[in-house]
Structure 1
Amino acid sequence: MRRELLWSALVGASMVLLAGCSQEKKADAKNEERPVKTVEVAAAKSIKQLDYSGSVKARYDVSLSFRVGGKILERVVNVGEHVKSGDLLARIDPSDYQLGVSKAEADLDAASRQVETYALNKRRAQSLFDQNVVSKSELDQRNLAYDQAVSSQKSATTALQQAKNQLSYTNLYATSAGIVTQVDGEPGQVVSAGSPVMTMALDGEKEVVIAVPETEISQFKVGKSVKAQFWARRDLVLTGTVREVAGSANAQSRTFNVRVSLPQNPDILLGMTATIEAQGDEPQSGFDLPLSAIAKVDGKTVVWVVNPTSSTVEMRPVSVGEFSATGLHVFSGVRAGDKVVAAGTQFMTEGMKIAVMGDDSGAVATTAGTNASASVIN
């Protein structure tokens, strides 16, 4: 009996001790500080740099076509060749147009002979009228016939000139000096008048064409100075000028074409890839945070802000926008000087005790520029 009582007392004491240890562990776990790295929120620069890629094009691209239809006999030039003004580019079969010239010449010859005949009749009628042999109406008829013959001769002369013009149009000549950039007509192909058979980039001014999203198009005005850099010539930087801003967005890409004129430079070739750098005209507000500091909680975009007094974290919803060179741009929800958890946000809970391991301030850089920005849904 005594042995049983002693055993019961020992078991009870053990349970009390175990319960005490469990409570101590729970208390320790609750008070345990989680080590984290933080970044300090810094204001973005007031002026945003805009970078867009494009390609070098000639200011004037001309589509060339025959002014008459027919079968192409010969193409004299190839893509990439440089031609001078007046150089022959292509020919179409002139046979039908040569026949047209021959017919017009015959018609003019017949009309000229008719004029001679009616001129003789007119003179005879005038002589007979002077002798009172024919009436005034007879003389008028001869004069009218002569006038009609002269009109027919003029029409035949015009028709001959038109036929010669049509014949000359069977040869396609370069209207200006430039480079052939595209060929759409080949020998043996039948083309109609006005159908493009060749495209030329005219010598002279060059420009870079870039596509700007609607969120940034207000930053580009005609006359604005920009910098142009070229992938093939990293050492070359030119100052360009915005020449044209499209009045409407492209139906597919929803971007606006902006044309930047470049100064003359022999090292710049058509088709080169260029980067246009422009300074924004409108001040930029907000902050840049690393992507690792941004979290999603219950569908909301949030950051975990450190309370330096209590060494705890609190969740703050933020409004985000474009990607930047250092992460993501935040418009609201934080202030300059706030410290936010830079990594491990998935482990954070409201009011969690933390121990700051070091301020990784280098992770938050001021905005230097944005490229073809991507929006993030708030």
Structure 2
Amino acid sequence: MKPIFQILGVVVILAVAIAAVITLSATKPEPKKKAPEAQVARLFTETVERTAAVLTVRTQGEVQPRTAIDLVPQVGGKIVAVSDQFVEGGHVTAGETLVRLDDSDYQLALMQAKSQLAQSERLLAEEEANAEIRRKQWDWDELRKSDRPEDLALRRPHLAERRADVAAAEANVANAQVNLQRTKITVPFAGRVTEKAADLGQFVSPGTRLGRVFSTETVQVRLPLTDAQLGKLGLTIGYVPEPGAEPEVRFSAEVGGKLRHWTGKLKRINAQVDAETRLVYALAELDDPYGANTDDGVPMAVGLFVNAELDGRRIDPAFRFPRAGLRNTDTVYVVNDDDKLEIRQVEVADSNEQRVLATAGVVPGERVVVSPVRNPIAGMAVEAMQRGAAGESDVATGAAQAMGSTSMPGGGF
């Protein structure tokens, strides 16, 4: 019986303990619940400004000569003289003789042609005299109309033949003179020599390539344009300006460690889209790049790669805000008067590394968020701070509250 009483005692003790625990749990006071404080993200903003702006299109291209030719002779012969300027990089003037061929054979040909001309003129004079004698042998007043002499009797065909011989002889003289002049090889413009392929003592035949020369009177730059850039310019494919009303093109390039500038003109926009690049090319020109239109003596030289800027259409009004406020390509975050976040779409007319010009989506005076925002939600409460109004510690605090533990680049999304 003793073991049974021991077991009952243990059970009673356990029951009492459990009852005590239940009673204490049921009668303990409820802990006071404290509502969590809502954290408000602190964001930096900039105010939208109204402005009027002229859109700028930036592109680039390589300077090329408008006129460049291969130097080739039209007659053959031995080179007997070469200009000192007929070297790579040499400066040549219009009409200057660069290469002279041996003209002995052409001098003889000219003399022979002149001799043939003199003989033809003598024969023509003799035939004219004979024709006059034949004409005087006829008394036109005493003959009846039906008895008029034939042209052959008056030697008119012979006279025509002699006149044709004289004309042919004169053509031979002119041809010989031209061939003689062609022994002096010149260019019709002022320019620079880019290549020399023949020299003194070499025999050349007609069509032999002697070198290459380009004109320094005008250079041109082929500028690629996207469809968006065409829209900024307000121009169409195939545009050709009126003479004297060509749009200005500002060129720049670094030469000798210094940025140089030149100003040219837009001459036309091609009437076709490039099949490979899907771009449209515009052609800009600069007159006298090696003379009057240098930058402190530095020319916009052929082969130079230059940047180009063109002024496009004017926008008024335009709404300007910092580039950091633009997310993706057309989204901005705006803090409204109730300090709530709004997510908007804007129509971007132009943008660069510093600013954005919009035509719709924002209005002057509104606050655009320029600091990074993680997981933005329309309508979320935020605290707007003007950039520069807080110290470095506030900047760090605001960024931490907006981003949590994740660091994002300054440009945002």
3-state SS in 1 of match to 2:18? helix
1:237-316 matches, within 5 Å, as 245-246=267-268, 248=270, 251-252=273-274, 253-259=279-285, 267-271=297-301, 282-295=314-327, 301-309=330-338, 311-316=339-344
Aligned to 1:371: none
CA distance in 1, matches of 2:194, 2:23: 102
Q: Deviations over 1:173-196 (max 9, x none)?
A: 1334x2315449657886659x99
Q: Which amino acid aligns with 1:150?
A: R
Residues 226 and 276, structure 1, Cα contact 8 Å, conserved in 2: yes
Q: Which secondary structure state, in structure 2, belongs to the residue aligned with residue 295 of structure 1? A: coil
Structure 1 residue corresponding to 2:373, chosen from 342, 345, 351 = 345
Q: Which residue of 2 aligns with 1:330?
A: 358
Q: Which residue of 2 aligns with 1:369?
A: none
Does the alignment pair 1:6 with 2:13? no
Q: Distance in 1 between matches of 2:326 and 2:27?
A: 51
Q: Which residue of 2 aligns with 1:179?
A: 191
| 3-state secondary structure, aligned to 1:86 | coil
Unaligned runs of 5+ in 2: 1-14, 140-148, 236-240, 390-413
Matches of 1:353 and 1:139, distance apart in 2: 118
| CA gap 1:348/1:254 in 2 versus in 1, 3 angstroms | same
In the alignment, residue 297 of structure 2 is paired with which amino acid? D
Shift of 1:152: 0.5
Q: 1:360 aligned to 2:374? A: no
**Contact 1:46–1:284, Cα closer than 8 Å, also in 2:** yes
Question: What is the alpha-carbon root mean square deviation over aligned residues?
Answer: 5.2
1:170-222 Cα deviation digits (max 9, x unpaired)? 4321334x2315449657886659x996433345x889886674224349981
Does 2:162 match 1:149? yes
Cα distance in 1 for partners of 2:365, 2:210 equals 63
Distance 1:361 1:13, change over 3 A: farther
Give the drift of 1:52.
4.7
Counterpart among 170, 177, 200 of residue 214 in structure 2: 200
State the distance in 1 between where 2:100 and 2:124 align.
Answer: 38
In structure 1, which of residues 60, 63, 68 is the aligned counterpart of residue 74 of structure 2? 68
- Deviation, 1:359, is 1.0
Does 2:94 align with 1:85? yes
Give the corresponding residue for 1:214. 230
**Which amino acid in structure 2 is aligned with residue 267 of structure 1?**
G
- In the alignment, the residues of structure 1 paired with residue 150 and residue 359 of structure 2 have an alpha-carbon distance, to the nearest angstrom, of 99
Task: Supply the distance in 1 between the matched residues of 2:101 and 2:18 (Cα, whole angstroms).
Answer: 122
Give 3-state SS (helix, strand or coil) of 1:246's partner.
strand
Larger radius of gyration, structure 1 or 2? 2
Amino acid at match of 1:288: R
Contact 1:126 1:139 in 2 (8 A): no
- Could you say which residue in structure 1 is the equivalent of 2:40? 33
Question: Per residue, is there more strand in 1 or in 2?
Answer: 1
Instruction: Specify whether residues 121 and 335 from structure 1 end up closer, same or farther in structure 2 by C-alpha distance, changes over 3 A only.
Output: closer
1:120 deviation in Å? 8.1
User: Structure 1-normalised TM-score?
Assistant: 0.64
Partner secondary structure for residue 256 of structure 1: strand
Question: Counterpart of 2:87 in 1: which secondary structure?
Answer: coil
Displacement of 1:165: 0.7
Q: State the distance in 2 between where 1:169 and 1:192 align.
A: 12
Counterpart AA for 1:32? Q
Q: Could you report, residue by residue, the CA deviation over 1:281-322 in whole angstroms, capped at 9, with x for unpaired residues?
A: 6234333344443335xxx9422222343x331222222242
User: Contact 2:249–2:309 at 8 Å: present in 1 too?
Assistant: yes
**Offset at residue 32 of structure 1 (A):** 1.8
**2:124/2:166 contact within 8 Å kept:** yes
Residues 1:230 and 1:149: Cα distance change in structure 2 (over 3 Å): same
Partner deviation per Cα, 1:81-139 (whole Å, 9 max, x = no partner):
12233321245787996786577457546645654775786688789999xxxxx7698
Shift of 1:153: 2.2
For 1:214, give the aligned amino acid.
L
AA aligned to 1:287 is F
Q: Which amino acid aligns with 2:331?
A: V
Task: Give 1:280 deviation, angstroms.
Answer: 5.9
Q: Aligned pair in 2 of structure 1 residues 316, 28: CA closer, same or farther (>3 Å)?
A: farther
Deviation at residue 246 of structure 1 after TM alignment: 1.3
Q: Structure 1 stretches of 5 or more lacking a match?
A: 131-135, 363-378
Give the partner amino acid of 1:282: R
The answer on whether the counterparts of 2:266 and 2:282 sit within 8 Å (CA) in structure 1 is no
Count matched residues.
339
Q: Does residue 60 of structure 2 align to residue 48 of structure 1?
A: no
- The 1:209–1:38 alpha-carbon spacing in structure 2 relative to 1, beyond 3 Å, is same
% same residue:
14
Residue 229 of structure 1 contacts residue 275 of structure 1 at CA under 8 Å; is this kept in 2? yes
Structure 1 residue identity aligned to 2:90: E
Mapped partners of 2:287, 2:26: distance in 1 = 92
The one-letter amino acid paired with 1:201 is S
Structure 1 window deviating more from structure 2 (319-328 vs 256-265): it is 256-265
Distance 2:71 2:280 in 1: 32
1:315-349 CA deviation, whole Å, 9 max, x = no partner?
Answer: 22222242224143333222222122222233321
Q: 1:66–1:169: 8 Å Cα contact kept in structure 2?
A: no
Amino acid corresponding to residue 328 of structure 1 in structure 2: V
Aligned partners of 1:43 and 1:287 also within 8 Å: yes
8 Å contact 1:38–1:359 — kept in the other structure? yes
Distance in 1 (CA, whole Å) between partners of 2:315 and 2:212 is 47
Could you tell me how far 1:150 is from its partner in structure 2?
3.5
Distance change >3 Å, CA 105–CA 304, structure 1 → 2: same
